[in-house]
């Protein structure tokens, strides 16, 4: 019996996900250009996937656990259990408009075109505030959309804000604060649940040691 965990293959969460497992005393090889690897001292198999695919794989039970940004969990809107917040991959999903735009409140986005890779989260945010806007889903380089006339505003992930600034944009609303989380499905056997409890206990100890 073992647990299968899906982590990002490459990108912003990859290193910290591996680091967390190592800090939990789990020995694994870095899986660059590999699909999966097995821990040598814990019954854990690690799958390397695109972060966008992780919620689906965990829901379907191809993996038992996943490490992914809360932003992706919410956007994919799958029935997953958030086991633990992990304290890395911190960022915010923010609304930004051209620096030259006069912006005083969210009302100023009424009727505007908003480019984003997070249509589900943005729709939900605007609906709750009773703002109607045209959402244009684009998968990458969202920050260039206003400059090329594709949108009036964007909603994108930011950490420092320097990318926005370089593209002549200013941040005007925080839609979501996000960090990496450990998620699971509800298909774990009792034995797997015990392994998960063991892993979670170690993660909590690692987190405590950092505070």
Where does this chain touch ligand ATP (CB under 6 A) — which range of 57-65, 77-85, 119-127, 153-161? Answer: 153-161
Considering Cα of 122, then 125, then 127, then 129, what sign does the dihedral take?
A: negative
**Contact call for residue 8 and ligand ATP (CB under 6 A):** yes
- The three-class DSSP label of residue 77 is coil
Considering Cα of 124, then 129, then 131, then 132, what sign does the dihedral take?
A: positive
DSSP state for residue 167 in the 8-state scheme? T
> Which of 6, 7, 13, 195 is close enough to bind ligand ATP by CB under 6 A?
13
Where does this chain touch ligand ATP (CB under 6 A) — which range of 11-19, 39-47, 141-149, 190-198? Answer: 11-19
CB neighbour class for 63 (10 Å; exposed up to 12, middle 13-18, buried from 19):
buried
What are the structure tokens assigned to 108, written together?
């100023």
**Contact call for residue 52 and Zn ion (CB under 5 A):** yes
Task: Name the closest residue to ligand ATP (Cβ).
Answer: 69
**Contact call for residue 51 and Zn ion (CB under 5 A):** yes
Reduced 3-state DSSP string for 105-136: CHHHHCCCEEEECCHHHHHHHHHHCCCCCEEE
- Closer by beta carbon to Zn ion, 71 or else 167: 71
Assess contact for 202 and 24: CB atoms under 8 A. yes
- Closer by beta carbon to Zn ion, 53 or else 152: 53
Where does this chain touch Zn ion (CB under 5 A) — which range of 31-39, 43-51, 152-160, 180-188? Answer: 43-51
Which residues, 154 to 183, sit near ligand ATP by CB under 6 A? 157-159, 178
> Which of 67, 80, 91, 182 is close enough to bind ligand ATP by CB under 6 A?
91
The whole-angstrom separation of Cα 64 and Cα 54 is 10
Where does this chain touch Zn ion (CB under 5 A) — which range of 29-37, 51-59, 127-135, 164-172? Answer: 51-59
Q: Which residues bind ligand ATP (CB under 6 A)?
A: 8, 11-13, 50-52, 69, 71-72, 89, 91, 157-159, 178
């Amino acid at each position: 019996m073992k647990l299968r965990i899906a982590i990002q293959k490459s990108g912003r969460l990859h290193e910290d996900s591996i680091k967390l497992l190592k800090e939990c005393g789990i020995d694994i090889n870095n899986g660059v250009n590999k699909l999966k690897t097995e821990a040598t001292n814990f019954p854990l198999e690690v799958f390397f996937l695109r972060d966008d695919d992780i919620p689906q794989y965990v829901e379907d039970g191809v993996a038992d656990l996943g490490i992914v940004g809360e932003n992706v969990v919410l956007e994919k809107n799958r029935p997953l259990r958030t086991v633990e917040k992990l304290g890395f991959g911190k960022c915010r999903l923010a609304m930004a408009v051209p620096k030259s735009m006069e912006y005083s409140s969210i009302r100023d986005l009424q009727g505007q075109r908003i480019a984003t890779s997070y249509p589900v989260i943005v729709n939900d945010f605007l609906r709750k505030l009773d703002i109607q806007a045209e959402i244009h889903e684009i998968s990458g380089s969202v920050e260039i959309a206003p400059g090329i006339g594709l949108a009036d505003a964007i909603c994108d992930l930011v950490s420092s804000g320097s990318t926005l600034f370089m593209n002549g944009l200013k941040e005007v609303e925080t839609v979501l604060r996000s960090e990496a989380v450990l998620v699971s499905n509800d298909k774990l056997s009792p034995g797997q649940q015990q392994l998960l409890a063991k892993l979670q206990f170690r993660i909590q100890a690692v987190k405590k040691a950092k505070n």
